[in-house]
């Protein structure tokens, strides 16, 4: 989900121009396999997805040697522009794409279309051709179209558009070399661009704009701002005001649609329904069925979580054991260091780092690929569609359900995922409430404490614990909806319009999905977490080992926090652990254990229940720990991401205040109830 290295690189200029470098832009509708094509051609790591607006900041990469035309010397750089439906609406992505195409920074523009949905795709293609004739058309997903019985006549497209047209399939590599040599041809000028415009407007409009720079004149008539307002254009604007209001703008906007319809009717033969097959239709009828939608959706998410939790248990233990041994070796290797430096680095920093990695890596390595599989198959768009009704009532948007689900994996990933939401207001709401979904760093606490709460209960212990877990997530969802509603009222702007494309179901490419999701998301999130875990491990070790008077600093802090902790129905140690867990949620529990046992470094979790009950844990402590875990301020990684995504310290601050305040309030309530009834 856009969680790629280019986030950090986006400040750099899009394409560094050097004499032997040719820049080629990739443009197209969302969901046409554009990013996938980009990845195949450049080998760059960038995630591809099956829903709108995946690429927000343009990414660039060099074309691999093997796709370069033989007679080509120098380098080809591809710039992957954001996927848009049009260039005329002034959304940030559209402006970015339009300005890049207009600027002439690219010597050629490859317009990528989905062969299964060519007619709609041609609308954008024609708009681009109006801006620049140095373009070529890439009809992608040819293999899928053939499977669906759709025939695309490339020669007819060439005839109509007068530009090179190449059919490709990114997954099989079909046509990619031809595409690159045609692109290089257009860029070098050896393939001459068409001289006439791609389509004509009605005579009365053509008359108005004759003699003027075409692109600018049309922009003026369509009611947009041209790149430069000249006196001639000013006069044109005046002249157009004679016609009935909206008439000219409407004609101009709808003209490409009609032209696209004509071209598609010449070039495409498809069964009725086009790319949307009878199979898709049947499947959609089941998935969006009023009675089946919710159970199916829950089943799917439950399946993902079950696989994640069950599947990661064993690898986590294995990794833990491996790291223990590794730590032992490193400890012996470091015997040249002074004793406390060695302790601090190995038992403090390294152990925390290892702990975080062994807890986080296996679930993420399972969760993210599963998630990506669902995403690539087209199922996620249906989930967004199904949940829009509920979410729009709470000022949200259907796509928020996806970012929430992503938040269950990692809140930082969920926050970045909010980019798929078009409307700024709804995006902000989704970002600020994402943290109510407990991420898998918080899962261990929830699971352990749920188990402790149900320890020795009459019911089956694991069933009861699972029930408590479910209640925790349900509480998170309820808080998300409630806060979204309140934030919606507070922000008080109109709900945006909602447009969501339901792409045809696709068989996900499993190999690619696993590689991409592990490279892009898992390692990215892990690296960020590790970067904070290591230094914080050192700080915590220092706190636990620097002694003031007769106790460690940590003991002093937790002692000082005791009254506050008690008021919240917790104790000083747990409160201290919750606060110190800011860098990484997964260290909260080991931290608490370390403080209870007065240890000087993070230990294992053996005998956890005994330790906790011996330290006066009551059912209330358990419940409030659960509450404070669900209603928790975002971890440092997430907070940084929120600040980056919203571009504002205020919202980042609010994202801390909202859950913390809610958590404290809830804890006060449960504590009061507990005391009144003297449970």
Binding residues for other proteins (CB under 8 A) = 85-86, 88-89, 116-120, 123-124, 246, 250, 253-254, 257-258, 260-261, 270, 273-276, 280-281, 284-285, 288-290, 293-294, 385-390, 392-393, 398, 495, 497-504
Closer residue to other proteins, CB minimum distance, 177 or 392: 392
Closer residue to other proteins, CB minimum distance, 157 or 627: 157
Q: Which residues contact 302 (CB under 8 A, 6 or more apart)?
A: none
In the complex, minimum distance from the CB of residue 508 to other proteins, in angstroms, rounded to a whole number: 19
Helices 400-409, 351-377: axis angle to 10 degrees equals 150
Closer residue to other proteins, CB minimum distance, 123 or 578: 123
In the complex, minimum distance from the CB of residue 192 to other proteins, in angstroms, rounded to a whole number: 30
In the complex, minimum distance from the CB of residue 164 to other proteins, in angstroms, rounded to a whole number: 23
149, 170 contact by CB (below 8 A): no
Closer residue to other proteins, CB minimum distance, 44 or 91: 91
Closer residue to other proteins, CB minimum distance, 293 or 630: 293
Closer residue to other proteins, CB minimum distance, 362 or 503: 503
In the complex, minimum distance from the CB of residue 135 to other proteins, in angstroms, rounded to a whole number: 18
Burial of residue 369 (number of CB atoms within 10 Å: 0-12, 13-18, 19+): buried
42, 78 contact by CB (below 8 A): yes
Closer residue to other proteins, CB minimum distance, 274 or 438: 274
In the complex, minimum distance from the CB of residue 8 to other proteins, in angstroms, rounded to a whole number: 32
Selection from 494, 404, 461, 372 nearest residue 50 by Cα: 372
Q: Which residues contact 557 (CB under 8 A, 6 or more apart)?
A: 543, 572, 576
CA separation for the pair 304, 328 (Å, rounded): 35
In the complex, minimum distance from the CB of residue 45 to other proteins, in angstroms, rounded to a whole number: 29
At 356, list the tokens.
């975080």
In the complex, minimum distance from the CB of residue 618 to other proteins, in angstroms, rounded to a whole number: 40
In the complex, minimum distance from the CB of residue 430 to other proteins, in angstroms, rounded to a whole number: 17
Closer residue to other proteins, CB minimum distance, 281 or 507: 281
In the complex, minimum distance from the CB of residue 646 to other proteins, in angstroms, rounded to a whole number: 24
The full DSSP string for 423-477 is SHHHHHHHHHHGGGS--TTTHHHHHHHHHHHTTT-SS-HHHHHHHHHHHHHHHHH
β pairing state of 135-140 and 75-80: unpaired
Closer residue to other proteins, CB minimum distance, 394 or 532: 394
At 641, list the tokens.
């991401």
Q: Which residues contact 628 (CB under 8 A, 6 or more apart)?
A: 568, 570, 578, 663, 667
In the complex, minimum distance from the CB of residue 1 to other proteins, in angstroms, rounded to a whole number: 20
Closer residue to other proteins, CB minimum distance, 95 or 500: 500
CA separation for the pair 297, 379 (Å, rounded): 10
Measuring CA to CA, how many Å separate 140 from each of 58, 175, 396, 485, 544?
A: 20, 9, 34, 41, 59
Closer residue to other proteins, CB minimum distance, 251 or 660: 251
In the complex, minimum distance from the CB of residue 188 to other proteins, in angstroms, rounded to a whole number: 32
Query: Diameter of the chain by CA atoms?
Result: 93
At 274, list the tokens.
């086009």
Closer residue to other proteins, CB minimum distance, 18 or 272: 272
Measuring CA to CA, how many Å separate 361 from each of 309, 315, 465?
A: 12, 9, 24
Closer residue to other proteins, CB minimum distance, 77 or 387: 387
List the strands of the sheet with 75-80, edge to edge: 59-62, 75-80, 21-28, 108-114, 135-140, 165-167
CA separation for the pair 588, 593 (Å, rounded): 9
Helix (H) or strand (E) holding 237: helix 231-240
The full DSSP string for 122-185 is HHHHHHHHHH-S-EEEEEE-HHHHHHTT-EE-HHHHHHHH-S-EEE-BTTTTBTHHHHHHHHHH
In the complex, minimum distance from the CB of residue 116 to other proteins, in angstroms, rounded to a whole number: 7
Burial of residue 48 (number of CB atoms within 10 Å: 0-12, 13-18, 19+): buried
In the complex, minimum distance from the CB of residue 616 to other proteins, in angstroms, rounded to a whole number: 46
CA separation for the pair 315, 322 (Å, rounded): 10
């Amino acid at each position: 989900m856009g969680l790629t290295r280019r986030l950090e690189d986006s400040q750099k200029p899009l394409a560094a121009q050097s004499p032997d470098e040719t820049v080629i832009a990739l443009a197209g509708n969302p969901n046409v396999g554009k990013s996938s094509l980009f990845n195949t051609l450049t080998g760059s790591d960038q995630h591809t997805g099956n829903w709108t607006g995946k690429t927000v900041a343009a990414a660039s990469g060099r074309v691999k040697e093997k796709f370069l035309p033989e007679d080509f010397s120098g380098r080809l750089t591809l710039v992957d522009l954001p996927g848009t439906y049009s260039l005329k609406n002034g959304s940030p992505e559209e402006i970015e794409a339009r300005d890049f195409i207009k600027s002439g920074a690219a010597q050629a523009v490859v317009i990528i279309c989905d062969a299964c949905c060519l007619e709609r795709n041609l609308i954008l293609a024609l708009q681009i051709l109006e801006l620049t004739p140095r373009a070529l058309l890439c009809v992608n997903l040819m293999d899928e179209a053939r499977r669906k019985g759709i025939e695309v006549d490339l020669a007819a497209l060439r005839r109509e558009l007068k530009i090179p047209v190449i059919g490709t399939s990114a997954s099989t590599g079909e046509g990619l070399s031809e595409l690159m040599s045609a692109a290089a041809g257009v860029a070098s000028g050896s393939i001459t661009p068409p001289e006439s415009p791609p389509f004509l407007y009605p005579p009365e409009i053509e008359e108005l704009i004759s003699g003027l720079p075409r692109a600018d004149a049309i922009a003026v008539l369509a009611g947009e701002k041209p790149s430069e307002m000249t006196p001639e254009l000013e006069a044109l604007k005046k002249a157009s005001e004679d016609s009935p209001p909206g008439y000219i703008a409407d004609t101009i906007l709808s003209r490409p649609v009609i032209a696209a319809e004509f071209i598609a009717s010449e070039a495409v033969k498809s069964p009725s329904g086009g790319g949307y097959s009878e199979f898709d239709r049947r499947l959609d009828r089941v998935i969006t069925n009023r009675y089946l939608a919710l159970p199916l959706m829950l089943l799917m998410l439950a399946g993902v979580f079950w696989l994640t939790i069950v599947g990661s248990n064993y690898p986590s233990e294995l990794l833990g054991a491996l790291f223990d041994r590794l730590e032992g070796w490193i400890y012996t290797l470091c015997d040249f260091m002074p004793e406390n430096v060695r302790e601090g680095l190995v038992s403090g920093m390294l152990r925390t780092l290892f702990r975080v990695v062994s807890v986080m890596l296996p679930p993420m390595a399972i969760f993210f690929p599963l998630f990506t599989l669902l995403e690539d198959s087209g199922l996620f768009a249906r989930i967004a569609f199904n949940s829009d009704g509920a979410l729009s009532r709470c000022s949200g948007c259907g796509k928020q359900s996806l970012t929430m689900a992503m938040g269950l994996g990692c809140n930082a990933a969920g926050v970045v995922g909010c980019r798929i939401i078009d409307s700024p207001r709804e995006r902000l709401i989704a970002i600020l409430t994402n943290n109510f979904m407990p991420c898998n760093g918080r899962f261990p606490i929830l699971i352990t404490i749920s188990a402790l709460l149900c320890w020795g209960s009459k019911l089956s212990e694991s069933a009861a614990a699972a029930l408590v877990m479910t209640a925790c997530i349900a509480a998170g969802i309820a808080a998300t909806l409630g806060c979204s509603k309140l934030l919606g009222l507070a922000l008080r702007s109109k709900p945006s319009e909602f447009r969501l494309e339901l792409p045809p179901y696709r068989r996900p490419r499993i190999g690619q999905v696993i590689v991409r999701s592990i490279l892009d998301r898992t390692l990215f999130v892990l690296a960020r977490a590790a970067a904070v875990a290591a230094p914080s491990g050192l700080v915590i070790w220092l706190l636990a080992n620097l002694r003031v008077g007769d106790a460690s600093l940590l003991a002093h802090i937790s002692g000082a926090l005791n009254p506050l902790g008690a008021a919240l129905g917790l104790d000083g140690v747990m409160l201290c652990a919750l606060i110190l867990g800011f860098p990484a949620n997964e260290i909260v529990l080991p931290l608490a254990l370390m403080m209870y046992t007065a240890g000087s470094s993070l230990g294992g979790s053996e005998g956890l229940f005994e330790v906790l009950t011996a330290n006066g844990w009551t059912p209330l402590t358990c419940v409030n720990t659960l509450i404070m875990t669900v209603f928790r301020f975002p971890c440092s990684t997430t907070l940084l991401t929120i600040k980056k995504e919203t571009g504002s310290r205020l919202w980042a601050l609010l994202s801390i205040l909202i859950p913390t305040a809610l958590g404290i309030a809830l804890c006060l309530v449960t504590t009061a109830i507990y005391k009144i009834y003297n449970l």
